[in-house]
A and B are shown apart, each in its own frame.
Chain A
Amino acid sequence: MNHLTEIESEAVHIIREAVGEAERPVLLFSGGKDSVVMLHLARKAFAPAPLPFPLLHVDTGHNFPEVLAYRDRVVAAYGLRLHVALVQESIDRGELTERPDGSRNPLQTHCLRRAVELHRFDAVFGGARRDEEKARAKERVFSLRDEFGGWDPRRQRPELWQLYNGRHGPGEHFRVFPLSNWTELDVWQYVEREHIELPGIYFAHDREVFRRDGMWLTAGDWGGPRADEHAEKRTVRYRTVGDMACTGAVESSAMTVRAVITEIAASRLTERGATRADDRLSDTAMEDRKREGYF
């Protein structure tokens, strides 16, 4: 069996198991390629019936406008239900304060926890992959979270065969990761095979960017460029889409899915290493954020 067909079958199996076991599933949808692929798989899993759960987007307020437009187009095209949790609203309510570096990525955790609590979601689909980062290599497919959304590696249940234990106590929920066994290359190959549309910023385009910490960041009112940084036009694309303040672009001429696949296969940097400032903070940055309830 072709490996894409096999991991597709596995992901669909995981999604159907979670929906079979949970009362209130929800799918985290950012418009990023992993969440787009996850949505595609979820729609296939229940076709021809409509998707039996809503989407949730934690909007930092620093999202790329192109990505938000894409999100809304997808939601309208497939008649989906979308909840949006706004980081700005939590800041306005005084639950959160802006960080000095302008990054709102760490603030998402709070909004996610709050939305899960408010809607009593008990299975939250995330697009995280084990190949992304060391702490994720040990993540379960069904990852148990306590009432505070926290992840305790020692409390995680062993997962054997294809048996996922979805039982949880009151207030606890599961993060479910259907793409656990996918790599970045698999995601792109699947996008190609299934002709999945992605936001345009994944492909090479001209953009006003400036250099910070060795990354190309998009100029914008979130806090850049500073006086000592200067914006210039470059041909770039994004390998991940997130908060504009910490998601860097790479210089690239890849304008098609095929060209992106060739570029990734040849690339010598992981996608997080290349473009995510939040993982550069320390060797255990991801592990620490997961303990606090990050995806």
Chain B
Amino acid sequence: MTAATGQPAEALTTTAASLLRFATAGSVDDGKSTLAGRLLHDSRSVLSDQLAAVEHASRARGLSVPDLALLTDGLRAEREQGITIDVAYRYFATPRRRFVLADTPGHVQYTRNMVTGASTAELMVILTDVRHGVVEQTRRHTAVAALLRVPHLLLAVNKLDLVDFRAAPFTAVVDEFTALARSLGVPEVTAIPISARDGDNVVTASTRMDWYGGPTLLDHLETVPAAGEPDDTPARFPVQYVIRPGATGQRGYAGRITAGTLRVGDRVTVLPAGLTSTVTAIDALGTPVDSARAPQSVSLRLADDLDVARGDLIAPVDAAPRPTRTVEATVCHLHDRPLREGARVLVKHATRTVPALVTAIPVRLDPDGLRPTPAHGSLSVNDLGRVTLRTAEPLPLDPYARSRRNGSFLLIDPADGSTLTAGMVGQAPGTAGESHEANGQSR
């Protein structure tokens, strides 16, 4: 076992430069929990009482060394079944960065958890066992990462100790994976050979793989650009709340910028109504600023006294989305009750919730390659597919390929409020005919 790197406590007290949200995926037993445990342990994010608990539990299971996988093992049901069944979030920091890790399970029936974890991730680590290479689960996880347009993919080829740390088995997995990623429209993949159990190339560089000259997994996590959206995305500002400071004060529109940059002096339109005005002030939680960008929470004031309410979207006049009542989207169905054509649902987009009708479910996408197959008008839990919706009011949507925030929505059951389906406006990446358009917009 590689010794903990022992970062000086002092370094952690400084405010880290930025935050990276990432997710891990892999099939059962590829070593995902071990990897997560190792990242927490070697970055000194595991504290002695947690470690003592893990040592205790490991001994109780008859293990001689602590099983770091137990560090990230959550609820009781999971411990009993010995598998991870839900998304768990972990936190660790290095002097360079703060990390939020969405630990998503590898079990077949839990596509929805992967989709959930991937939705906020800026990077996904796909774990494979070097002896098995690209397996069905790898295909599914990569398909989800492509579908959710996670900006960075990292292939971690694990258990190099079991192939004597040789280059050839690693390279074979990388070649196979690169072909898969390309077929799904993913332009760029970073691959790292590791041994999660022993710590090689996780936090500290391996001394047993001279042929590998690249970064360790943590190096890569620390240096990959964290910006989720391209800088040139036009601004999107869903109004969350109207602040009315007494009788005399001017109204402020509170919200979080979901894409792009807003500046004082910008000509903006308020959608769906289409009224126009000018931004006269931006308040960044107590500090007046000239400009603010995603994902900042701010409040805005406008030159004109317009009727603006929660649910409206403020966007630049010259780059505003056109509100529409017909929505074509790629979806992942999340609920045990199937989604059927003709269903009446609620669409929650940004801060607006409107009634809608599911007019068509023409296509299911196979989970390994996102290839279209007939859906016969319904989708079951964990199914990916395409739907067409007719909404009661127009929605100012962007294609998901252009904006993960303004191009995503939920379908909600109006009867009991359950979250039914996750939706992404437009076509899935890599599917026949559309890959060009989608990639051109997203990258």
Interface residues of A (CB under 8 A from B): 1-10, 12-13, 16-17, 19-20, 44-49, 130-131, 134-135, 137-138, 153, 157-163, 165, 167-169, 180-181, 183, 185-186, 189, 193, 261-262, 265-270, 273-274, 283-284, 287
Contacts and interface: CB of A to CB of B under 8 A. Distances in A.
Contact of A185 (B12, B97, B285): B12
Contacts of B167: none
Contacts of B47: 267-270, 273
Interface of B: 9-10, 12-13, 15-19, 47-50, 53, 57, 72-77, 86-91, 93, 97-98, 100, 112-113, 115-116, 119-120, 240-241, 243-246, 249, 254-256, 258, 285-286, 295-297, 310, 334, 346, 348, 350-351, 404-405, 408-410, 412, 416-419, 422
Given A17-B240, A268-B47, A162 B9 contact: no
B15 A189 contact: yes
Residue of B53, B87, B91, B243 ringed by the most chain A CB atoms within 10 A: B91
B87 A270 contact: no
A2 B412 contact: no
B15 A2 contact: yes
A16 B255 contact: yes
A138 B57 CA distance: 20
Contacts of B119: 160-161
A8 to B, nearest CB: 7
A183 B93 contact: yes
Contacts of B310: 20
Given A157-B419, A189-B15, A135 B74 contact: yes
B120 A161 contact: yes
Given A48-B245, A169-B416, A10 B295 contact: yes
Given A49-B244, A131-B91, A180-B89, 16 more contacts: A3-B19, A3-B97, A4-B15, A8-B297, A13-B240, A13-B255, A16-B241, A16-B254, A17-B351, A45-B297, A49-B246, A138-B89, A161-B404, A163-B410, A165-B419, A167-B346
Contact of B93 (A135, A138, A185): A185
Nearest to B11: A265
Given A16-B297, A161-B405, A268-B48, A183 B91 contact: yes
Contacts of A137: 72, 74, 88-90
A105 B49 CA distance: 22
Contacts of A181: 89, 91, 100
B76 A265 contact: no
Contact of A274 (B12, B49, B240, B419): B49
A1 B297 CA distance: 12
Nearest to A180: B89
Nearest to A193: B15
Main secondary structure of the interface of B (DSSP, over half): mixed
Main secondary structure of the interface of A (DSSP, over half): helix
A2 B410 CA distance: 29
B53 to A, nearest CB: 7
Contacts of A9: 256, 285, 295-297
Contacts of A159: 116
Contacts of B72: 137
Given A130-B89, A181-B91, A270 B245 contact: no
Given A9-B296, A48-B249, A49-B243, A269 B49 contact: yes
A74 to B, nearest CB: 18
Residue of A46, A131, A158, A169 ringed by the most chain B CB atoms within 10 A: A158
Given A153-B75, A185-B93, A162 B256 contact: yes
B72 to A, nearest CB: 8
A161 B297 CA distance: 16
A44 B15 contact: no
B408 A160 contact: yes
A2 B295 CA distance: 11
A261 B16 CA distance: 14
A168 B417 CA distance: 6
Residue of B19, B93, B244, B418 ringed by the most chain A CB atoms within 10 A: B19
A3 B18 contact: yes
Contacts of A8: 285, 297
14 contacts: A1-B296, A13-B256, A46-B241, A49-B245, A49-B246, A49-B249, A137-B90, A153-B77, A160-B119, A161-B404, A181-B89, A186-B98, A189-B13, A269-B47
Contacts of B295: 1, 6, 9-10
Contacts of B249: 48-49
Contacts of A269: 47-49
Contacts of A267: 47
Contact of B19 (A7, A16, A193, A261): A7
A95 to B, nearest CB: 29
Contacts of A265: 9-10, 12-13
B244 A163 contact: no
A198 B119 CA distance: 36
B165 to A, nearest CB: 33
A163 B409 contact: yes
B18 A12 contact: no
A261 B115 CA distance: 36
Nearest to A47: B286
A152 to B, nearest CB: 11
A163 B254 contact: no
A271 to B, nearest CB: 9
Contacts of A47: 243, 285-286
A19 B241 contact: yes
Nearest to B238: A162
A186 B92 CA distance: 11
